[in-house]
Amino acid sequence: MNQTFPAVSELVPHQAPVLALEEVTSWELGHANGKLTIRDSNPFVRDGELNTVMSLEYMAQCVAACLGMEAYISGVNVRVGMVIACRKMEILQPVLRVGQTYSVKADCVRGTDAISHYDGEMRSADGELVATCTMTLVHGEKPPK
């Protein structure tokens, strides 16, 4: 059964050109998958390439979409969050190329209402591992109902 999800702009508190995640492809509590394509409009693209260190932001956007879906399902507003630490980041490809599509994944390791830890992963369209990391995030106050 194919699930449909709200637009990423409803789940992630970012706007273009910073918002790169294009869609959520699967979700369950604490886990999300999404996809994105590297665009020329990205302010960090140089000569058709983007340094793979930016994959940290894209994995964080997948975390935001994961938490945004949780808020959406619960009928509450999306909360702002921030990556405060990154451990064990491994970059397996030096650059991301304009026009290429990538999948991103976020899996909650543990967390509370205030802080959480997620494992992230980014893969090329052919399934090749691009980067992985473990992120620590703080979550903003819950918005009023």
Q: Which helix (H) or strand (E) holds 33?
A: strand 31-37
Q: How confident is the model at residue 1 (pLDDT cuts 50, 70, 90)?
A: very low
Cα 54 to Cα 1, 6, 22, 96, 124: the distances in Å are 33, 24, 16, 9, 14
Provide the 8-state DSSP code for 58: H
Q: How confident is the model at residue 2 (pLDDT cuts 50, 70, 90)?
A: low
What would the mean pLDDT of 121-132 be, rounded to a whole number?
A: 97
> Domains of the chain: which residue ranges?
8-139
pTM, rounded to two decimals: 0.92
CATH number of this structure's domain 8-139, picked from the four choices 3.10.129.10, 3.40.366.10, 3.20.20.70, 3.90.70.10:
3.10.129.10
Task: Answer whether residue 70 shows pLDDT above 70.
Answer: yes
Q: How confident is the model at residue 75 (pLDDT cuts 50, 70, 90)?
A: confident
Task: Answer whether residue 40 shows pLDDT above 70.
Answer: yes
What would the mean pLDDT of 62-83 be, rounded to a whole number?
A: 89
Burial of 75 by CB count in 10 Å (0-12 exposed, 13-18 middle, 19+ buried)?
Answer: exposed
C-alpha 131: how far from chain center: 13
Structure tokens at 53: 């260190």
Helices (H) and strands (E) in the chain, counts: 2, 8
Task: Answer whether residue 77 shows pLDDT above 70.
Answer: yes
